[in-house]
């Protein structure tokens, strides 16, 4: 009797969700708007008053301390409170979206799945959230650090308030562009971590690397990895390190799960 070997089934690749990235970017910009509104209301208005009253007589040390105090206050008021909220919503949306797509593809391939997260995977998700909280906080604090420098420059240039307004606008634009980069980068990273965790959860051990051909400057090693099989637990050994698709900055690579021999 001949043994019929089924060819391994591959699932379609799942890519980072553009809608989730967009809503994450919007959340970052909303946070930036809240902080910059307060910078304008509290810091700039008050600064203008003081500048008018005291002109150059105001002690330089006094101004530096005062600005530093406001900057700290705004950082803790906005980013400390909102960063965990934004990060948790973002990671949980990424998980739900990934699970539902994976489930659909598995069902089409003839498998029923129930997700049961292990402590190890819970830790991976927690680490993703924490890493994300750090990104959001540094996003806010970089903006505020520049505010601090700009106010200082305004003082040393003899209270050039219109110059300060222009500088603050530039600062805002820098952060806005940064929000786009962070959203794309974090969107891809969270997707990669969750993909890895979900595959391990379902016992999917191998996947096929796919180069998306969407990067302007693709890494040569990633181009060459296209179509090659890798171990989900390790990733692919490229340029001297083990990496998962989509994990490195600007890496738009993905992969297809191989589901041969599981759950049957
Ligand atoms: Zn890549």
Number of other CB atoms surrounding residue 215 within 10 Å: 14
8-state DSSP, 117: -
Question: E strand or H helix at 137, and its extent?
Answer: helix 119-156
Question: E strand or H helix at 9, and its extent?
Answer: none
**Of all residues in the chain, what percent carry a pLDDT higher than 70?**
93
Closest CA to 96 of 19, 22, 210: 19
Q: What residues flank ion ligand 1 with Cβ within 5 A?
A: 222, 251, 253
Put residue 9 in one of left, alpha, beta given phi > 0 → left and psi -120 to 50 → alpha: beta
Q: Which of 32-36, 112-116, 205-209 has the lowest mean pLDDT?
A: 112-116
> Could you tell me the pTM of the whole model?
0.87
CA of 72 to the centre of ligand 1 (A): 38
Asked if pLDDT for residue 48 goes beyond 90, the answer is no
Asked if pLDDT for residue 1 goes beyond 70, the answer is no
Closest CA to 76 of 151, 171, 141, 150: 141
Distances (CA, A) of 184 to 56, 73, 141, 251: 45, 29, 20, 10
d(CA 118, CA 140): 33
CA of 263 to the centre of ligand 1 (A): 30
Cα radius of gyration rounded to whole Å, the chain: 24
CA of 155 to the centre of ligand 1 (A): 46
CA of 165 to the centre of ligand 1 (A): 41
CA of 248 to the centre of ligand 1 (A): 7
* pLDDT value at residue 113: 85
CA of 112 to the centre of ligand 1 (A): 31
Give pLDDT tens digits for 60-93.
Answer: 667 778 888 999 999 999 999 899 999 999 999 9
Asked if pLDDT for residue 263 goes beyond 80, the answer is no
On whether the CB atoms of residues 256 and 220 are closer than 8 A, the answer is no
CA of 90 to the centre of ligand 1 (A): 23
CA of 252 to the centre of ligand 1 (A): 5
Beta bridge pairs of residue 51: none
Who has greater pLDDT, 113 or 91?
Answer: 91
CA of 238 to the centre of ligand 1 (A): 10
Give pLDDT tens digits for 150-171.
Answer: 988 888 887 788 899 999 999 9
CA of 88 to the centre of ligand 1 (A): 26
| Mean pLDDT for the stretch of residues 101-117 | 89
Q: Which of 30-39, 83-92, 118-127, 141-150 has the lowest mean pLDDT?
A: 118-127
Closest CA to 102 of 25, 245, 216, 200: 200
Closest CA to 91 of 117, 126, 115, 119: 126
CA of 189 to the centre of ligand 1 (A): 12
Give pLDDT tens digits for 89-104.
Answer: 999 999 999 999 999 9
CA of 178 to the centre of ligand 1 (A): 21
CA of 141 to the centre of ligand 1 (A): 30
Query: What token pair was written down for 10?
Result: 């591959």
d(CA 112, CA 94): 21
């Amino acid at each position: 009797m001949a043994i019929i070997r089924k060819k391994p089934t591959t699932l379609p690749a799942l890519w980072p969700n553009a809608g989730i990235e967009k809503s994450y970017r919007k959340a970052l910009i909303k946070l930036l708007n809240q902080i910059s509104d307060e910078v304008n209301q509290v810091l700039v208005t008050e600064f203008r008053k003081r500048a008018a009253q005291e002109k150059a007589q105001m002690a330089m040390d006094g101004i530096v301390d005062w600005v530093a105090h406001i900057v700290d206050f705004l950082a803790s008021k906005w980013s400390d409170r909102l960063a965990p909220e934004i990060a948790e919503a973002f990671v949980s949306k990424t998980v739900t979206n990934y699970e539902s797509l994976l489930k659909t593809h598995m069902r089409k391939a003839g498998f029923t799945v129930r997700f049961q997260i292990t402590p190890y995977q819970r830790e991976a998700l927690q680490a993703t959230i924490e890493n994300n909280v750090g990104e959001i906080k540094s996003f806010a604090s970089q903006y505020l650090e520049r505010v601090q420098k700009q106010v200082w420059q305004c003082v040393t240039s003899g209270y050039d308030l219109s110059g300060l307004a222009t500088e603050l606008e530039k600062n805002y634009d820098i952060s806005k562009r940064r929000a786009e980069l962070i959203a794309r980068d974090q969107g891809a990273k969270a997707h990669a971590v969750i993909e890895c965790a979900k595959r391990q959860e379902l016992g999917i051990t191998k996947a096929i690397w796919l180069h998306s051909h969407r990067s302007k400057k693709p890494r040569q090693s990633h181009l060459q990895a296209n179509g090659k099989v890798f171990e989900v637990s390790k990733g692919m050994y490229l340029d001297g390190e083990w990496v998962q698709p989509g994990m490195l900055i600007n890496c738009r690579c993905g992969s297809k799960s191989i589901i041969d021999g599981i759950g049957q």
